[in-house]
Structure 1
Amino acid sequence: MIEFRYFAATIMLLMSIAIITLNGLVVKRMFREREGFHKICVNKAIANVFIAIAFLVWAAPCAYLNFLYLPHAFNVFFGQIVGWAPYLMSGPFTQICLAVNRAVAISYPYWFNKQHRVPWTKVILGGLWILAILMSLPAMIDGCSYIFFVESVAWSPTDTPCSRTLSEYVTNLVLLMAIISFSINISSIIKIVRSAIGLTAVMDQNVSESRKRKRRKMFIQCVIQDCTHTTDCMLNTYVYTFYDAQWFQFLCGAVSALSVIMLDGFLMSILHQRSSTPSQTREPPSKSHTNGEFRKRASSRVSATIMTTTTM
Structure 2
Amino acid sequence: MSLSNWTLAQIWIEDSRPEEVAEPWVTVVIGIFMILTSAFGIFINLFVFRRFVSKNMTSFYIMCSSKTISNSMILFCYLIFNGPVSVMRRYYGPEFMNMLLNQMAAYGIYVQGPMTQVCISFNRFLIIYFATLAKRKNGRKATFVALSICWLISLFVTVAGIPGNCTNIFNYDILTWDNLDPCVDTLADLVMYWIGVLAVISNTFNVVVAIKLIVSATKPHMDSVASKRRRRTSRRLFLQSCFQDWIYLLDTINSMFIYTWLDKIIWQFFFTIFSNLFVHVMDGCIMLFFNYEKKKSILMLPKKKDCTFINVTF
- TM-score between the two structures when normalised by the length of structure 1: 0.79
1:150/1:187 CA distance change after superposition, 3 Å = same
User: Which residue of structure 1 lines up, in the alignment, with residue 312 of structure 2?
Assistant: none
Match of 2:172 among 136, 150, 174: 150
Give the match's secondary structure for 1:6.
helix
Q: How does 1:104-115 map to 2 (within 5 A)?
A: 104-114=126-136
Give the match's secondary structure for 2:221.
helix
Q: How does 1:8-157 map to 2 (within 5 A)?
A: 8-32=30-54, 33-90=56-113, 92-114=114-136, 116=138, 119-156=141-178
The AA in structure 2 aligned to 1:185 is: N
Shift of 1:274: 4.7
- Corresponding position: 1:244 with 2:267: no
String of CA shifts for 1:11-39, please: whole Å, max 9, x gaps. 10111011001000111011243210000
Asked if structure 1 preserves the Cα contact closer than 8 Å seen for 2:128 and 2:209, the reply is yes
Shift of 1:265: 0.5
Sequence identity percentage: 24
Coordinate RMSD, CA, aligned: 2.7
- Corresponding position: 1:180 with 2:201: yes
1:14/1:166 CA distance change after superposition, 3 Å = same
Shift of 1:242: 2.3
1:4/1:96 CA distance change after superposition, 3 Å = same
User: Which residue of structure 2 lines up, in the alignment, with residue 266 of structure 1?
Assistant: 285
Asked if structure 2 preserves the Cα contact closer than 8 Å seen for 1:26 and 1:269, the reply is yes
Structure showing greater radius of gyration is 2
* Structure 1 gap segments, 5+ residues each: 278-312
Give the match's secondary structure for 2:101.
helix
- Corresponding position: 1:161 with 2:182: yes
- TM-score between the two structures when normalised by the length of structure 2: 0.79
Give the match's secondary structure for 1:155.
strand
- Say which structure is richer in helix: 1
Shift of 1:210: 9.2
- Between stretches 19-28 and 265-274, larger displacement belongs to 265-274
The AA in structure 2 aligned to 1:242 is: W
